[in-house]
Structure 1
Amino acid sequence: MGRRRGIMSEALKYELAKELGFYDTVQQEGWGGIRAQDAGNMVKRAIEIAQQSLVQQNHKQE
């Protein structure tokens, strides 16, 4: 099976890790060192940011 391509950029992942408070863990242990809950929160926050971006784009088009 081929390797899956990441949807989030590395820069966004690091930004979210800083925002959510587990950046130090990522720096020390890599992405495999974070808890599943932290990974889920990171995905949830990325979705929120994407939704906000879409709302802003839609308001600009009106």
Structure 2
Amino acid sequence: MARRRGSIMSDKLKMELAGELGVADIVRAEGGFGSVSSRDCGNMVRLAIQRAEQSMV
């Protein structure tokens, strides 16, 4: 399977979600999302899905 290049979520949305979860400081201090735990990244995806579902209603 080919890997997808680029990002589906904008950097602005990612930072908003990271701020809601309290991990935005980690992203800023470490220089990116590579230092965010898998659990927190999963929670960011869950929040993004919830937002998308709410916008469809």
TM-score by length of 1: 0.82
1:12 corresponds to 2:17 = no
Deviation per CA, 1:9-29: give whole Å up to 9, x if none: 110000000001100000011
Identity, in percent, stands at 53
Residue 59 (structure 1) aligns with: none
Measure how far apart 1:4 and its partner are.
Answer: 1.2
Q: Aligned match of 2:45 in 14, 22, 43?
A: 43
Structure 1 ranges of 4+ moved more than 4 A: none
The amino acid across from 1:28 in the alignment is A
Residue 58 (structure 1) aligns with: none
Say if 1:39 and 1:2 are closer, same or farther in 2 by CA, change over 3 A: closer
Measure how far apart 1:52 and its partner are.
Answer: 0.1
The amino acid across from 1:26 in the alignment is V
Aligned residues: 55
- Bigger proportion of residues as helix: 1
